[in-house]
Structure formats: structure tokens, C-alpha cells
């Protein structure tokens, strides 16, 4: 028995569904399967690190937004917000489940060119048509609402303060895992080292321990390592680990109101973190794929890139002290930074749940539900996720999502 209570050996020789990776996507799928009255199968989740120390989920900034440029991504986040704010009811009115709220300080996208201002105007139409409460703000309107910004270069801003801001995605993940296990999903500690394929069918997986387990359907929820696991089945997946840096800092002169998650034209973002502290994030200009074990900090990035951008935008942040910093990996989809989900077109019982780049946490309720629908019915019953299917990768046709962070 592993320290976390996970067993190290599967109790059965074969399962209807095997999920590789037991962080937020794997656990969401497992939970939604247990919640689907039409699913009566057995489920095994295989997780290499039950402490979840290095996964994307553990390094996230945990924010949710409605400001996407495709209606489907807006709808996915809307379901995420609804699911999260009704978590206890969704989990069978389990009184142990906390009552969770979104801290809706909003995302504020700032445009410093007419070209990007037009993108914000186009996005507004998509978002409002989907029911999001996005508003455009002129530089003067931004100054009225948030006097601390330097708006000298700002052409236009876009903000939504309804169901947009911080949410506690990791608590939602913990409850999915806990309730899924209580409902009979088996979690084992182990690393998938090989995938067993006969022709166009996956028959099972072999763990690095040597144990072999059969499966009816296999889900790839291995985050930034997704291409490595897909390769074990002879499949190429355009997903790679890319470093993203996060900093929590205290300000000598804190702001007198909540700081929206501000998307600066420099690519740096900064937001409210509570108690006079703020969270900033970004990445280096050179942004290569890294080894999945490489979490080395770039020590010059804060001084040379992140803090100058933050202090230029918010001059009140001229004196700050970094309290905490970390590196996390995006599972970066190199085609279009969007989800890759559903079955492989040839190997139909190999299912992708990958490539979420910087928005997987908020998408996890809708994606887990959709994956459970596919596993149960071979089709979608709520949101149609076929635009995210692997076929677009083969065709080289990206989803044109213009609000990527
Ligand atoms: C710095 C940062 C900030 C972010 N901010 C946001 C945000 O504000 N909002 C948002 O919505 N999203 C955000 N994201 C993205 C979000 O965190 C991810 O999309 C999401 O956590 C992905 O979850 P996952 O389960 O797919 O992957 P992971 O959390 O990486 O989990 C994959 C799991 O698979 C396991 N695994 C890998 N290989 C194997 C194997 N061979 N055998 C068994 N197990 C294996 C790993 O141990 C891991 O636990 C952010 C990400 C980062 C890095």
C-alpha cells in the first residue's frame, strides 16, 4: 500500500476503462463516470506520483474566465463555473463538500494596438452571444474604475466580473478523487511503461513494476507527459512540456481595491491574491519544450521581464517583495493551444484528454463530463466536443482561439 492509500497492484486483471494519470483530468473523468447512471463498468486510475508534486494541477494559478473567442470554450467555462459553484449539490448534497465561490475580480485584457482592440471587439460579440457579461472599457473608463493603472498606451480594455477570477480548483479535484474512490474507482500508484496494442486496438498497459492490466478503453490524462504516453501506443501527439513561472509578491503600497487578472500586452499577467499580496506570471521570450523533470527556475526572469512590466503598468508596485515563486509545466499543444480530446481516428479505444495548455483547470468539469459521455455512449450528450477531436491535428487545422494566455 502506498503512503497516500493508493494500492500498488491492480486488484483485477482487466477493467472496462483504464485512465493513465490521476490528476484533475483523470479524476474528473473517473468521477463523472461514477455519476453517469448509464455507466456500470469498472474503472482503474493509474498515477505515477500520488503526491502530485510535479503535475500541472499542482502548479496552476487556478483562475477561470469567460473571455474566450470561440463559443465552445465560453460554454465549457460556463459549465465549469456552474459546476464549481454548485459543487455540493452536484456531489449528491454530500455535507462534507465545502460551499465554494468564485472570487470574481475579472480578467482585464489590455490592448495597446488598434489591431488587438479589434480582436477584443470581435471576441466581445462571441462572448455576449454566449451569455457572458463582458464589457469593453476605454482608457478613461479603466482609469475611473481602477485609478492605479498606467493607461498611457492603452487603446481598449475588455473585462467581465461575473464568474471570472479565482476558484479553488484543487479542492474540486480532491473531492472528485475522494468521491470517485468511495464509489468504487480504483486508484493505483504506478507508472505506465508500455501500452499493449494489437492492430488498431489497445488491449492493455504494462506498468514499470511489470504488472499488466487489460482494458476496454484507455484514456490518456498524463498532462505534459501526454506525448510520451501516446508514443507508447505508436501515436504522435503535438503536446510538449513548457515552463511557466509564477510569483507571489507583497506590495509596500497595496491597492485599495481588487486587482483584476490583468493581461498586459507584454504577455505578463498579474492579479489579486489577497491580504496585500499579488500573483504575477509569464514566461521567457525563448519558450522551448523542456524535459518533464526540468523545473529549474529562471532567476533573471523576474528582475528583467516580469517585474518591469508589472511596475510599468501599475506604478504603485514600485516597491515589492517576492514571497514565493515556482515553475510549472503547461501541456502545450503546439498546433493551437487547445484541448485535444476524444478517440484516435484509427485506434478508437485510445482516448485523448490532453493539450490544455493554460486553461485546463477551468475546463476540467466539462471535459470530464464529455469524456465520461464518450466512454459510456460513444458520443456526446451535452456539449459537442468533436471540434477538439484529433482529426484536426491530422488535417493541420487549428481552432482559432484568439484569447490564449
Ligand atoms: C503555471 C500554470 C498556471 C496555470 N493556470 C491556470 C489557470 O489559471 N486556469 C486554468 O484553467 N488552468 C491553468 N493552468 C492549466 C491547468 O493547471 C492544467 O491544464 C491542468 O492542471 C491539467 O491537468 P491534467 O490532469 O491534464 O494534467 P496534470 O495535472 O499534469 O496531471 C497528469 C498526471 O499524469 C501522471 N502521469 C504522467 N505520466 C504517467 C504515466 N506514464 N503513468 C501514470 N501516471 C502518469 C502525472 O504524474 C500527473 O499526476 C495552469 C498551468 C500552469 C502550469
CB-based pocket (< 6 A), ligand 1: 20-21, 23-26, 46-49, 52, 55-57, 59-63, 191-192, 221-225, 229, 244, 246, 328-331, 356, 358-362
Supply φ then ψ for residue 28, to 5 degrees: -60, -45
Minimal CA–CA distance to 355: which of 403, 398, 294, 295? 398
Burial category of 266 from C-beta neighbours within 10 Å (exposed 0-12, middle 13-18, buried 19 and up):
middle
For residue 306, the CA-to-ligand 1 centroid distance in Å is 23
For the chain, the distance separating the N- and C-terminal CA atoms, rounded to the nearest angstrom, is 40
For residue 57, the CA-to-ligand 1 centroid distance in Å is 4
Task: Work out the number of other CB atoms within 10 angstroms of the CB of residue 308.
Answer: 13
For residue 144, the CA-to-ligand 1 centroid distance in Å is 38
Q: Output the pLDDT for position 403.
A: 75
From CA 96, how far away is CA 94, in angstroms rounded? Answer: 5
Mutation probe of ligand 1 site: the residue of 22, 31, 56 with most atoms within 8 A of C-beta:
56
DSSP 93: T
Q: Output the pLDDT for position 401.
A: 80
Q: Output the pLDDT for position 206.
A: 98
Minimal CA–CA distance to 372: which of 354, 344, 393, 353? 353
Supply φ then ψ for residue 295, to 5 degrees: -120, 25
Task: Work out the number of other CB atoms within 10 angstroms of the CB of residue 193.
Answer: 15
For residue 22, the CA-to-ligand 1 centroid distance in Å is 10
For residue 228, the CA-to-ligand 1 centroid distance in Å is 15
Residue 84, C-alpha cell as written in the block: 464549481
From CA 163, how far away is CA 366, in angstroms rounded? Answer: 15
CA distances from 185 to 1, 172, 200 (A): 16, 17, 27
From CA 359, how far away is CA 116, in angstroms rounded? Answer: 21
Mutation probe of ligand 1 site: the residue of 60, 242, 368 with most atoms within 8 A of C-beta:
60
The residue whose C-alpha atom lies closest to atom 20 belonging to ligand 1 is 360
Supply φ then ψ for residue 308, to 5 degrees: -55, -40
For residue 336, the CA-to-ligand 1 centroid distance in Å is 17
For residue 242, the CA-to-ligand 1 centroid distance in Å is 12
From CA 6, how far away is CA 135, in angstroms rounded? Answer: 47
SS3 of residue 128 by DSSP: helix
Q: What angle do CA 317, 302, 64 make, to 5 degrees?
A: 75
For residue 357, the CA-to-ligand 1 centroid distance in Å is 9
Q: Helix/strand/coil (H, E, C) string of 196-250? A: EEECCEEEEEEECCCCEEEEEEEEECCHHHHHHHHHHCCCCCCEEEEEEEEEEEE
CA distances from 181 to 24, 35, 57, 102, 175 (A): 14, 12, 19, 26, 10
Q: Output the pLDDT for position 3.
A: 52
Per-residue pLDDT tens listing for the chain (405 residues): 555 689 999 999 999 999 999 999 999 999 999 999 999 999 999 999 999 999 999 999 999 999 999 999 999 999 999 999 999 999 999 999 999 999 999 999 999 999 999 999 999 999 999 999 999 999 999 999 999 999 999 999 999 999 999 999 999 999 999 999 999 999 999 999 999 999 999 999 999 999 999 999 999 999 999 999 999 999 999 999 999 999 999 999 999 999 999 999 999 999 999 999 999 999 999 999 999 999 999 999 999 999 999 999 999 999 999 999 999 999 999 999 999 999 999 999 999 999 999 999 999 999 999 999 999 999 999 999 999 999 999 999 999 888 777
| Ligand 1 nearest-atom number relative to CA 55 | 30
The residue whose C-alpha atom lies closest to atom 21 belonging to ligand 1 is 57
Amino acid at each position: 500500500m502506498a503512503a497516500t492509500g493508493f494500492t500498488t497492484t491492480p486488484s483485477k486483471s482487466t477493467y472496462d476503462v483504464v485512465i493513465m494519470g490521476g490528476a484533475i483530468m483523470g479524476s474528473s473523468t473517473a468521477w463523472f463516470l461514477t455519476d453517469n447512471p448509464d455507466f456500470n463498468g469498472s474503472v482503474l486510475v493509474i498515477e505515477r506520483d500520488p503526491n502530485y508534486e510535479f503535475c500541472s494541477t499542482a502548479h496552476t494559478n487556478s483562475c477561470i474566465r469567460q473571455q474566450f473567442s470561440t463559443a465552445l470554450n465560453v460554454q465549457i467555462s460556463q459549465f465549469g463555473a456552474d459546476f464549481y459553484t454548485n459543487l455540493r449539490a452536484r456531489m449528491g448534497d454530500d455535507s462534507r463538500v465545502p460551499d465554494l465561490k468564485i472570487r470574481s475580480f475579472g480578467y482585464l485584457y489590455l490592448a495597446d494596438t488598434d489591431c488587438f482592440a479589434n480582436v477584443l471587439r470581435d471576441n466581445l460579440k462571441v462572448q455576449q452571444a454566449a451569455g457572458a457579461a463582458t464589457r469593453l472599457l476605454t482608457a478613461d473608463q479603466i482609469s475611473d474604475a481602477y485609478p492605479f493603472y498606467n493607461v498611457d498606451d492603452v487603446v481598449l480594455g475588455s473585462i467581465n466580473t461575473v464568474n471570472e477570477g479565482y476558484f479553488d480548483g484543487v479542492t474540486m479535484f480532491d473531492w472528485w478523487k475522494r468521491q470517485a474512490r468511495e464509489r468504487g474507482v480504483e486508484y493505483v500508484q504506478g507508472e505506465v511503461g508500455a501500452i499493449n496494442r494489437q492492430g488498431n486496438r489497445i488491449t492493455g498497459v504494462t506498468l514499470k513494476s511489470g504488472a499488466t492490466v487489460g482494458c476496454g478503453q484507455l484514456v490518456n490524462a498524463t498532462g505534459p507527459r501526454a506525448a510520451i504516453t501516446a508514443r507508447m501506443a505508436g501515436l504522435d501527439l503535438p503536446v510538449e512540456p513548457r515552463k511557466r513561472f509564477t510569483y507571489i509578491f507583497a506590495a509596500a503600497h497595496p491597492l485599495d481595491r481588487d486587482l483584476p487578472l490583468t493581461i498586459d500586452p507584454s504577455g505578463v499577467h498579474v492579479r489579486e491574491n489577497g491580504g496585500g499580496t499579488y500573483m504575477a506570471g509569464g514566461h521567457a521570450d525563448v519558450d522551448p519544450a523542456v524535459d518533464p523533470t526540468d523545473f529549474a527556475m529562471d532567476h533573471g526572469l523576474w528582475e528583467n521581464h516580469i517585474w518591469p512590466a508589472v511596475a510599468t503598468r501599475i506604478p504603485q508596485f514600485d516597491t515589492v517583495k517576492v514571497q514565493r515563486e515556482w515553475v510549472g509545466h503547461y501541456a502545450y499543444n503546439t498546433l493551437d493551444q487547445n484541448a485535444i480530446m476524444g478517440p484516435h481516428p484509427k485506434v478508437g479505444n485510445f482516448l485523448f484528454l490532453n493539450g490544455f495548455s493554460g486553461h485546463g483547470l477551468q475546463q476540467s468539469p466539462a471535459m470530464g463530463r464529455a469524456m465520461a459521455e464518450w466512454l459510456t455512449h460513444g458520443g456526446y450528450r451535452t456539449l459537442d466536443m468533436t471540434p477538439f477531436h484529433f482529426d484536426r491535428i491530422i488535417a493541420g487545422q487549428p481552432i482559432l482561439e484568439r484569447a490564449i494566455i
